[in-house]
Amino acid sequence: MEPKTINVDSEKLEDLSQKLSLHFWGKRCDIPVLWNGRLTKSMGRFMFSSRGRTRTALRIELSKHAVRFIPPEIFIAVLLHELCHYHLFIQGQPFEDGHPVFEEELRRVGAISTNVVQLPQKGFELYCSKCHERLGSRKRMNTKHYLSACCKAQILKKEAWLGECKYPGEILKHSKVRLSSNHVKKV
């Protein structure tokens, strides 16, 4: 699966997060919502700091990598998931993944739970250097230690995306979020 080219405009992301925050919680999101190009295994994260008994919300980061593979409605659900962390955090309620209060809030707003969507991973397609037969794919492999089974020749590796975006059915079928011409609507 080849990744899509996406316009990762920070202002649009901030605007969308404010609209969702006001819509579902009636409050503004007072922390920055940013893109993070290093997040490859998770789709987003809510960051906070703890010093003694003082906790401070810092920011929400969303993966530039993930947004290239997931449909827009899944992206909205991920943003809502991170906003749930934030709003429960500032209300002093349990905001950890898997906690019943947090999971109930996810259901209320129509967001997805943690680890529901699987993302493609960067890896390598392997080929025989002599006959160019495809030998398979691996996440990592030192080709200097191996020869191809077909011709006993050196193995070539080509960078590729392994897998595809997977999620079980329509996760958002009960969601209150619908996309229509770049606007988010509540059903």
Q: Do 90 and 72 share a structural domain?
A: yes
Percentage, residues of the chain above pLDDT 90: 39
Residues in the chain: 187
Contact assessment for residue 107 and residue 177, using Cβ atoms and an 8 Å cutoff? no
The residue range of the domain holding 151 is: 121-162
pTM beyond 0.75, yes or no: no
Q: Do 82 and 41 share a structural domain?
A: yes
Q: Do 72 and 45 share a structural domain?
A: yes
Q: What is the pLDDT of residues 7-61, one digit of tens each?
A: 668 888 899 899 999 999 999 999 999 999 888 778 899 999 999 889 999 999 9
CB atoms within 10 A of CB 73: 18
Q: What is the pLDDT of residues 72-86, one digit of tens each?
A: 888 888 899 999 999
Bridge partners (DSSP) listed for residue 125:
137, 158
Q: What CATH number does the domain containing 31 carry?
A: 3.30.2010.10
